[in-house]
Structures are given as structure tokens and as C-alpha cells.
């Protein structure tokens, strides 16, 4: 069975950001930059302004949330200091703590989720700058991961208490991986996964194709469907996926294009919601993201944009109709709206919901809560999808 491949192809390098020279390599890392170069990185993170991240961070910063990143590992970076936990190395012959990245992909994904920069707008910033990253090295430096290794990484994330798992890879599945993904969903974990990248991928890969997983596609700077992003009936939401700056190994920075980047951004959004509304079940977190997404393309859900581009502020403030169940851990008298899961003192100010789509509910036997029917089911055990 072919291995899933990290979906961050078409990664570009600008060899000297501070001098404006043209791209000369497809490697993922930018050279080490002086302080003013770090300033440029923040300025070039166009997705932060596009998503109104500064406004969203007035409402939530991801405090108290751990996001697992099964990837090529996460190298310590100044912009992640204090947010990087001790993880693990799943690969054969490993035994490390997950903080060894010989590729830069995993470090880049971690930065998009939880980088805090270095003050005074220096360095990269993530969507949830106070969330914690649980690094799990499950992919080689060549961006290859066996389905069973990813499955064991997901199992480790569950047992370590992660409440969000960000999977920036897509490909074939295996019984071990499918069981692990379903166990994560049953354990009230938000699982976010990349749809895949064209031209290598032609359809949504696994685990994004699994019912209950939040499948992420990409848009470009104009908000249009990114040509690199796979489309399909499984797509739930989209996020920026073109020319995305983030952290890299050895204190450097990277610029990437692909649904990997969009996935990490959505995982950061999930962390913001889980922090602000800690009593919401994972399905309600996903529901907030789909229900408040800004509709694109044909009215309603479509195969390129899903329910639309994520709207961080709306996801944190809108009075979203619930899916019809309450978390068992929610305090008594929490009320019917999903804003009932807010931390004490949050008022859920009921901002207008844009692109709201009524979602059907399927009750899954033996799990104890409802699943959001956000895509057509292709069968419980889809055939392996080969990543090229």
C-alpha cells in the first residue's frame, strides 16, 4: 500500500526576502534573517489580515488547548518558545520527543497554528498563539508517512490529551489508521485533515474523506479556489493555501502553497473555539466553522469551497443553532445555543452568521452523540487512495 504524502507540494523559496530577489528553489526554508527580515515575515503573512486574526485574538488565543501535529516533527523555533511540548517519534528507530524536523514541513504547520512571534511584530504568528503544540514525528524527511505510522500517531495524540489533531497529509488508509481516526472522533477530538494537492492528487484523500473529519481545501489571495487544492464532495471548509509564510527549522522561515497550510490554519481556528467554548463537543466545534463560513461559489455547499471560507470572528461570536445535543461535561443550565459552551464570563454576542447552512444530523450507535452529515458517505471502508 502506498504511503500518504504530505500535501505541501509547490513550496517556493524567496532566497532573500529583504532584497526582493526572485524565487530560485523549491525548498521550503528561507535563509536566516536579521530582525528587519523577521518583520517582513509578519508583513508577508497575508492570511492573518484576510482572516481578521487580530480581531479574533481579542476573543480567544487558544489558551488551554493542545493541538497534536503528526508530521515530520517540529523543530524548536523562537516563535514557538513555550508553546512546544515534549512529543514522540513514531518512526522505526526513533525514540525522540518529536522535536526533530529534518524537512521543515511539520515546523511550518506548528507555526501556522501556534507561533507567537518575538514581540513588536517580529517573526511569524499563528492563529492560536497561546495554544500548545504536541509534536509527533510520523513522516520521514522525504514527506512520506505509512498509514499505520499515522494511525499510531493519532493514538498517541488521543492518549496525550490533545483536543485537536491537525493532519496535513492525504493518501491511502489502513485498518490501523481508520480505527485510530474513528477512535479520535469518538473521544471528542476535533480532527482536521488536508484534502490533497493537484496534480499529484485527483480526489480527496484519507483521512479527510472519513465522515466526521473536517476536510480542508484551499483558496488563493483573492479568495478564489486555489488551483493546487483538490475538490470533492467531502470538502467542508476552505482557508488560505497560497504563498503562506510560517516557521521553519533552525530559526528560519518558509513560504508554502498547499492544502497542508490551509489545514493548519483551520486547526488553529478549532483551537480558538475549543478555548473559548471548552464545553462544546468536537462536532459542535466543526459545526461552528461550517455554519459561519463565508459562502463562495454556487449558493450553499459545493465541491470546491465546501461551506465556504472560515470566518474566525463569526465562529467565535455567532449564535449558532445547535446540533441538538449538549456536552455531558457542560454545566447544568447551560442553555440550548452552542454559545452555552463558553467560558464563564463570555457572552457570545451573536454576530450575524454569514453563509449559514442547515446541517443534517446522523445519530451513530455506540458513540453517544450525533455526527454532522457534511458530506456524502462513500462507505465505511473506502478503498486505498494512492498518493503520487
**Tens of pLDDT along 96-151?**
999 999 999 999 999 999 999 998 888 999 999 999 999 999 999 888 889 999 99
Identify the three-state secondary structure at position 245.
strand
* Catalytic residue list contains 36: no
Active-site pick, 138, 168, 260, 327? 260
Query: C-alpha angle with apex 100: 43 to 163, nearest 5 degrees?
Result: 75
Given a cut of 60, whether residue 317 has pLDDT beyond it is yes
Mean pLDDT on 186-212: 96
Q: Give the CA radius of gyration of the chain.
A: 19
Q: Which CATH class is domain 5-313?
A: alpha beta
Active-site pick, 47, 105, 116, 287? 105
pLDDT tens per residue across span 247-277: 999 999 999 999 999 999 999 999 999 999 9
CA distance 388 to 202: 10
Given a cut of 60, whether residue 32 has pLDDT beyond it is no
CA distance 144 to 7: 10
Identify the three-state secondary structure at position 349.
coil
pLDDT tens per residue across span 1-15: 445 544 433 333 322
- Count other Cβ atoms within 10 Å, centred on residue 210: 24
Given a cut of 60, whether residue 17 has pLDDT beyond it is no
* Catalytic residue list contains 260: yes
* Catalytic residue list contains 287: no
The pLDDT score that the predictor gives to residue 120 is: 80
Given a cut of 70, whether residue 33 has pLDDT beyond it is no
Please, which residues have CB within 8 angstroms of residue 66's CB and are 6 or more apart in sequence? 85, 131, 132, 133, 134, 160, 161, 162, 163, 164
pLDDT tens per residue across span 143-185: 888 999 999 999 999 999 999 999 999 999 999 999 999 999 9
CA distance 290 to 285: 9
The pLDDT score that the predictor gives to residue 340 is: 53
Query: C-alpha angle with apex 11: 313 to 19, nearest 5 degrees?
Result: 90
Cell of 365: 450507535
Given a cut of 80, whether residue 57 has pLDDT beyond it is yes
CA distance 309 to 292: 9
Active-site pick, 39, 44, 71, 79? 71
Identify the three-state secondary structure at position 323.
coil
Domain boundaries, the chain: 5-313
Which residue shows C-alpha cell 532566497?
15
Amino acid at each position: 500500500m502506498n504511503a500518504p504524502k504530505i500535501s505541501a507540494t509547490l513550496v517556493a523559496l524567496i532566497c532573500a526576502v529583504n532584497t526582493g530577489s526572485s524565487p530560485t528553489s523549491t525548498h521550503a526554508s528561507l535563509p536566516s534573517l536579521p530582525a528587519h527580515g523577521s518583520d517582513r515575515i509578519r508583513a508577508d503573512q497575508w492570511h492573518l489580515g484576510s482572516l481578521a486574526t487580530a480581531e479574533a485574538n481579542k476573543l480567544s488565543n487558544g489558551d488551554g488547548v493542545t493541538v497534536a501535529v503528526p508530521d515530520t516533527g517540529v523543530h524548536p523555533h523562537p516563535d514557538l518558545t513555550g508553546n512546544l511540548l515534549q512529543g514522540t517519534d513514531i518512526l522505526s528507530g526513533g525514540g525522540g520527543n518529536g522535536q526533530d524536523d529534518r524537512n521543515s514541513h511539520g515546523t511550518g504547520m506548528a507555526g501556522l497554528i501556534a507561533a507567537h512571534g518575538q514581540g513588536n511584530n517580529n517573526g511569524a504568528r499563528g492563529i492560536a498563539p497561546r495554544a500548545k503544540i504536541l509534536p509527533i514525528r510520523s513522516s520521514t524527511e522525504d514527506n512520506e508517512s505509512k498509514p499505520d505510522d499515522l494511525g499510531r500517531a493519532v493514538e498517541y495524540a488521543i492518549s496525550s490529551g490533545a483536543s485537536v489533531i491537525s493532519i496535513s497529509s492525504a493518501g491511502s488508509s489502513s485498518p490501523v489508521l481508520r480505527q485510530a481516526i474513528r477512535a479520535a472522533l469518538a473521544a471528542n477530538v476535533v480532527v482536521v485533515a488536508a484534502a490533497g494537492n493537484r496534480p499529484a492528487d485527483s480526489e480527496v484523500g484519507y483521512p479527510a474523506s472519513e465522515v466526521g473529519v473536517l476536510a480542508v481545501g484551499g483558496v488563493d489571495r483573492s479568495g478564489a479556489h486555489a488551483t493546487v487544492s483538490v475538490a470533492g464532495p467531502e470538502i467542508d471548509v476552505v482557508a488560505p493555501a497560497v504563498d503562506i509564510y510560517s516557521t521553519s527549522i533552525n530559526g528560519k522561515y518558509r513560504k508554502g502553497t498547499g492544502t497542508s497550510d490551509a489545514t493548519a490554519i483551520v486547526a488553529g481556528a478549532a483551537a480558538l473555539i475549543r478555548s473559548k467554548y471548552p464545553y462544546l463537543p468536537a462536532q459542535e466545534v466543526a459545526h461552528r466553522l461550517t455554519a459561519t463560513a463565508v459562502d463562495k461559489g454556487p449558493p450553499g455547499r459545493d465541491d470546491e469551497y465546501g461551506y465556504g471560507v472560515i470566518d474566525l470572528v463569526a465562529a467565535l461570536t455567532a449564535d449558532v443553532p445547535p446540533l441538538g445535543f449538549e456536552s455531558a461535561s457542560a454545566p447544568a443550565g447551560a442553555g440550548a445555543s452552542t454559545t452555552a459552551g463558553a467560558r464563564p464570563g463570555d457572552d457570545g454576542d451573536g454576530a450575524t452568521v454569514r453563509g449559514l447552512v442547515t446541517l443534517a444530523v446522523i445519530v451513530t450507535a455506540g458513540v453517544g452523540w450525533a455526527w454532522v452529515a457534511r458530506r456524502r458517505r462513500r462507505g465505511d471502508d473506502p478503498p486505498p487512495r494512492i498518493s503520487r
